[in-house]
Structure 1
Amino acid sequence: MTETGVGGAKGIQGLILKAFGADDYRLTVTAPARYFTDHYVRLEFSGGGLLREKPYHPTMFLRLWFEDRQGRLHQRGYTVVDPDPAADTFAIEFALHEGAAARWALTARPGDALGATFLGSGFAIPEPAPEGWLIVGDAASLPAINSLLDALGRTTARGVPVTFWFEWVHDSDKDLPMRLRPHDTLHRVRRDPAPGAGIVEAVRAAAFDATGHFGWVALDTAQTRAVASVLRTDYKLGRRGVKSQAYWLETRCPS
């Protein structure tokens, strides 16, 4: 059994989190990894008391601790997937890129332990219910998006429609698990960093008066800002009508 980031020195990042009242947990891998594609893997965990102490909400995330090649600990945020609060179990899905998190996920086995920190990640479905949702994300934010889709309901009668722009990189990304419902709309957009191309322009080109809708955006830092701005202005959602969260920096791949 291996243990990563469990009780070890977490440096300045750990001190800052503790100062803000964060709580630490010891997660344990409970099953062999499930590969959806060669770039996307799911691991099952027991939560070390996490879900018994922290109420679950859609898009809830943890800060997981991984060792770099020099043995230093770094934290990265990952969404809690398919939680079972009574059993204190859940999954984490990793979009695999070069980095400490991907290296750990590729070698993790049942019984391995992983340090996690919870600092609160509150998000509530807006009330009254929006007329529709505009969601923009990629493989890194797909677990959070799926948790939103679950919360919005799996049938037309139970949920308002979602328009989802998904930025893809690998051909196999089309096989990723998306919990879309029959009345939802999916637009796949290939990642393209060139000016005037890519997902920012795709969202802008489809703009309409979406007053009464709600926007949720999670891409790299620069694109998150740009798409959120488009939704607030071109789609007329305003500042309160958009929730945005950068999942990784545009200057490097997410870990």
Structure 2
Amino acid sequence: MRSLAVSYVRVAGVERISPRMLRITFSGDALASLMEDRPDQQMKLCFPRRGQDVPRLPEPHAEDAYGMRWYEAYLAIPEPERPLMRSFTVRSYDPGPGLMAVDFVLHDGGGPATRWACAAGPGDVVGMVGPSSAYARPLPGTEGLLLAGDASALPAIGTILESLPAGARATVCVEVADAAEEQRFDSAAEVTVRWVHRDRGESLLDAVRSAALPEGSAAAWLAGEAGTVRALRRHLVEERGLPRSAVEFSGYWRRALTQDDAPTEEDLAWARERAAEA
């Protein structure tokens, strides 16, 4: 068991791909050994505090693949110096020049990741924890797949669709602020996309309720705001009859809470359920 992957990455380029999303490309000496050939690679970025050029990170411990000892050392850093850590999905990796792309949703109100991304320029440094195969959860094995999520799920949805083979079928429901946030997906699979626009009063839950599941054995992948993901999963399992094992789900963020806030009882219950199904 190898230790948790902790490294520094440097901004190589910034591209605005929609009014509310930035694509930031990173380079780093460790990227070649960390990237894997699979979709939905999740990791954490650590942003420097005010007055820091480079975030302060503890060293990884040997035989600590799940990062518990590292996280204890991270919490032991005095809060004014402790980097602000947020979760992201690797949007793409180009092994030739060794570049990793990460998409940042620019949230209203501007949290630490949004503020950093809006000011980022070539040469800026952040810390990276992961990606780690210890947390990899394979997609349900099926020819028909429902993908549903909000804007925060767009990077993962893009990588999943790009990985699907010819002959697969996917129905995609994505909630975004408005039509300007729509993206184009490339896939060898047969893909149907329903864009859900908040400015028109549309909701992701309503879109999934009205969506036709792919024919044959269907499975689902859900991600986004935790409360919405829970409601989507209940609908698919209790009302549409999908087996629990056929629904992969992840709450990327919590309304009115950040990753710095303690988990709620509902968060803990959900984590236990995910662990039991792993």
Contact 1:247 1:254 in 2 (8 A): no
Write the mapping of 1:40-119 to structure 2, written as runs, cut at 5 A. 40-67=21-48, 72-85=82-95, 87-97=97-107, 98-118=110-130
Runs (5+) with no aligned partner, structure 1: 1-19
For 1:150, the aligned partner's letter is E
Contact 1:133 1:214 in 2 (8 A): yes
Which string of whole-angstrom CA distances, capped at 9 and with x for unpartnered residues, describes residues 165-192 of structure 1? Answer: 1111134213x34335683111122348
Give the structure 2 partner of residue 170 of structure 1.
178
Give the structure 2 partner of residue 140 of structure 1.
152
Give the structure 1 partner of residue 15 of structure 2.
34
Q: Relative to structure 1, is the Cα distance of residues 68 and 159 closer, same or farther in structure 2, using a 3 angstrom cutoff?
A: farther
CA distance in structure 2 between the aligned counterparts of 1:72 and 1:115, rounded to whole angstroms: 12
Q: Identity across aligned pairs (percent)?
A: 29
Q: Relative to structure 1, is the Cα distance of residues 124 and 107 closer, same or farther in structure 2, using a 3 angstrom cutoff?
A: same
Contact 1:39 1:96 in 2 (8 A): yes
CA distance in structure 2 between the aligned counterparts of 1:170 and 1:209, rounded to whole angstroms: 26
Contact 2:35 2:131 in 1 (8 A): no
Give the structure 1 partner of residue 137 of structure 2.
123
Give the structure 2 partner of residue 229 of structure 1.
234
Contact 1:134 1:216 in 2 (8 A): yes
CA distance in structure 2 between the aligned counterparts of 1:225 and 1:68, rounded to whole angstroms: 33
Question: TM (normalized to structure 1)?
Answer: 0.77
Give the structure 2 partner of residue 9 of structure 1.
none
Give the structure 2 partner of residue 205 of structure 1.
210
Task: Identify which range, 230-239 or 93-102, moves more after superposition.
Answer: 230-239
CA distance in structure 2 between the aligned counterparts of 1:79 and 1:214, rounded to whole angstroms: 21
CA distance in structure 1 between the aligned counterparts of 2:155 and 2:218, rounded to whole angstroms: 22
Give the drift of 1:254.
Answer: 8.9
Q: Relative to structure 1, is the Cα distance of residues 149 and 119 closer, same or farther in structure 2, using a 3 angstrom cutoff?
A: closer
Give the drift of 1:144.
Answer: 0.4
Q: Relative to structure 1, is the Cα distance of residues 62 and 209 closer, same or farther in structure 2, using a 3 angstrom cutoff?
A: closer
For 2:9, the aligned partner's letter is L
Which string of whole-angstrom CA distances, capped at 9 and with x for unpartnered residues, describes residues 217-237 of structure 1? Answer: 002010011101212232322
Contact 2:233 2:249 in 1 (8 A): yes
For 1:116, the aligned partner's letter is M
CA distance in structure 2 between the aligned counterparts of 1:21 and 1:242, rounded to whole angstroms: 30
Contact 2:175 2:197 in 1 (8 A): yes
Q: Relative to structure 1, is the Cα distance of residues 64 and 232 closer, same or farther in structure 2, using a 3 angstrom cutoff?
A: same
Give the structure 1 partner of residue 247 of structure 2.
242
For 1:25, the aligned partner's letter is S
Higher percent of residues as helix? 2
Q: Relative to structure 1, is the Cα distance of residues 106 and 254 closer, same or farther in structure 2, using a 3 angstrom cutoff?
A: farther
Give the structure 2 partner of residue 22 of structure 1.
4
| Matched length | 225
Q: Identify the match of residue 217 of structure 1 among 202, 222, 228.
A: 222
Give the drift of 1:91.
Answer: 0.3
Question: TM (normalized to structure 2)?
Answer: 0.71
For 2:148, the aligned partner's letter is V
CA distance in structure 2 between the aligned counterparts of 1:218 and 1:126, rounded to whole angstroms: 15
| Root-mean-square deviation over aligned CA pairs | 2.8
Give the drift of 1:61.
Answer: 1.4
CA distance in structure 2 between the aligned counterparts of 1:92 and 1:79, rounded to whole angstroms: 7
